């Protein structure tokens, strides 16, 4: 059985209205991750993901800068149990 890790990332900065969620979904699908990305009312983006440790590390590195129009200020990472993420493809949540 493959090792899976999961985390919740809260991304701060100019991360809404810059195609952040769509870009993170594209990367997550390419990395084989499951989870979701959604805008929060306070201007942050929440990214919840689960998958192989190497893919999760790549996602975390990407979140530090995001897509070209984003200006990431800080990324907070909180570990989660992989079962808490659920199954299916990575989605954009509302």
Residue 39 a catalytic site member = yes
Residue 14 a catalytic site member = no
Encoded tokens for 55 = 């893919």
**Which one of the listed residues 25, 34, 39, 77 is annotated catalytic?**
39
**Which one of the listed residues 21, 25, 34, 44 is annotated catalytic?**
21
Which distant-in-sequence residues (6+ apart) come within 8 Å of 78 by Cβ? 7, 8, 9, 10
Catalytic residues: 21, 39
């Amino acid at each position: 059985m493959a090792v899976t890790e999961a985390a919740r990332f809260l991304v701060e900065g100019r991360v809404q209205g810059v195609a952040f969620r769509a870009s993170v979904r594209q990367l997550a699908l390419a990395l084989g991750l499951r989870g979701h990305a959604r805008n929060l009312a306070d201007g942050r983006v929440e990214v919840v993901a689960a998958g192989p440790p190497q893919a999760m590390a790549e996602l975390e590195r990407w979140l530090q800068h995001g897509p070209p129009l984003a200006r990431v200020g800080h990324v907070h990472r909180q570990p989660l149990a992989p079962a808490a993420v659920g199954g299916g493809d990575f989605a954009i949540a509302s």
